[in-house]
Every structure is written in C-alpha cells, then in structure tokens.
Amino acid sequence: MNKLNTGEQILFTGLSVDELLLRIEQIIDSKMGQLPNIQENQSEYITRKEVAKLLKITLPTLHDWTKQGFLQSYRIGNRILYKLKEVEQSLTHVLNNKHKKFIL
C-alpha cells in the first residue's frame, strides 16, 4: 500500500481507469494553463545561413548589413546567431520607410 506524506491512503472505488486518467489529464491541463508560457518569453535564435536564406541574400551581404548596423548579431564561441524576431522587425522597419519622402 502506498501512503501519502500525510499518512492518508487513497482508495478509488466506483471509478474506472479511463475516468481516472481523464481526471488526471484535466488536472494537469488546468495546472499547465496556470504556468507562464516560457516559450513566448524566449527569442528564437537562427544561424547566418538561415538569415541569409530568409532574406534571400548572400553571406557576404549579411556580414556587411551586420557591420552597418542593419541587423544585430550575437556571438557564442565561434557561432554567430541572430534573433528571428529582430530580423523580422528590421525587415518591417525597412518596408515602412520605403515610400516616405525625404524631409530636411
């Protein structure tokens, strides 16, 4: 017999295995809904090749754009990564400014 820390025993009578599993699933779903979504807070990092493919540019062009400050890169060891969200935001910024008139 398994006992809880409180010393109480749990007896399941009149409850099928399927009903028990359904109730456990409902409890887990309700608890998971209360947890903060960690995935939303994290940025997805992508490689240089993925950025170049996404923007349809060459790796040397990507390097130039990074040096000029159009894109922000991150380095860990020898790897250079980009945040997908920042790449998309920089693209949106360019599209929004494309047809604005030059004002002094």
Q: What percent of the chain has pLDDT over 70?
A: 68
**Band of pLDDT at residue 93, cut at 50, 70 and 90:** low
Residue 60 falls within a domain, yes or no?
yes
Distances (CA, A) of 93 to 4, 16, 55, 71: 58, 58, 14, 11
Question: Does 72 have pLDDT greater than 50?
Answer: yes
Element at 16 (helix H, strand E): none
* Helices and strands (H, E) in the chain, number of each type: 5, 3
pTM of the predicted model as reported, rounded to 2 decimal places: 0.51
CA-to-CA distance for 55 and 71, rounded, in angstroms?
Answer: 11
Radius of gyration of the chain (CA): 26
Residue 29 falls within a domain, yes or no?
no
CA-to-CA distance for 90 and 71, rounded, in angstroms?
Answer: 7
Q: Which of 81, 77, 46 is nearest to 66 (CA)?
A: 81
Question: Does 41 have pLDDT greater than 50?
Answer: no
Quote the domain boundaries for residue 56: 42-97
CATH number for the domain spanning 81: value is 1.10.10.10
Question: Does 64 have pLDDT greater than 60?
Answer: yes
* Domain count for the chain: 1
